Amino acid sequence: MSLRFEGSYGGAADRIGPAAIMECKICWTVYDPADGDAFRQVLPGTPFAALPDDWTCPTCAAPRDQFMVRTDPSAPDLAARTAPLVADFREIWNGKMRDVPLCNKALHVEAVGFIAHEGRPLGVLVTPWCMNLVLLPAEGEDWSDLVPGAKEVVAFPSGDYEVLHNVRPMVGGYKACSLFSPMSDFASQMQAVEVARAVMTELFRPENRAETDRALDIRAARAAELAPPPEAPAAPSRRAVISAGLAPDGDPGREP
């Protein structure tokens, strides 16, 4: 059986360590391998990946592919790598974006779902004005010579995506692909984070690959939650979730 975990290392089950503590994204029930599951007579010390195929959440009966990694001792610690990125964008927020009307003040700057992809930190950056897929350089790799505004196509299992180069004082060089801007459709930080996690899962699914000259977008697992009422404008398209269309130069609401 090929098992996937939403919001966890792009859905790659083989990258979840045996001591990883998992959390149901429906009801937030935690599975800790150290405790097992007395309800299903799963012995303490049983890794999540070794649970029976028919195992479900003991609280809400959600299937195990609805669980996300809460903590994983064997996972690379990317917090130190994403901290400068978050700090840079918090500076942008405090310095010039806080009073911009298009910003969603229910949101804050947060790095979500970062994994080591081919040795480079990859994840989603949520801010009050945009949501971007962000690729950072590998340890010891120098991207300080990137030309801001230059474009590059990066391949993922779901398709090829156009990213924009940029350089910031604290994080240095990085590459970003615009997902959402502005962020007015999100009612809360939790909702934005859940969509960001869904993006990281769908990005690595080959079945999302577009049969076109380039992959334009992939479907967000939570797009339906963002759909407006029937009388409102149409719901965001698949393109709105992961899009190769980046912000035009000079748009303060779409700084990557």
Could you tell me the residue ranges of all domains in the chain?
A: 9-71, 79-254
For residue 97, the SS3 value is helix
Distance CA 114, CA 124 (A): 7
CATH tag for 79-254 (out of 3.40.50.150, 3.30.1460.40, 1.20.1250.20, 3.90.380.10):
3.30.1460.40
Confirm if 204 and 197 have CB atoms less than 8 A apart.
no
Angle among Cα 119, 20, 89 to the nearest 5 degrees reads 50
Place of tokens 């979730």: 241
Confirm if 213 and 253 have CB atoms less than 8 A apart.
no
**How does the average pLDDT of the chain come out, rounded?**
80
Residues 84-132: tens digit of each pLDDT? 999 999 999 999 999 999 999 999 999 998 888 888 999 999 999 999 9
Distance CA 121, CA 143 (A): 13
Distance CA 54, CA 77 (A): 32
Residues 141-150: tens digit of each pLDDT? 999 999 999 9
CATH class in words for 9-71: mainly beta
- The tokens describing 78, both together, are 């990317």
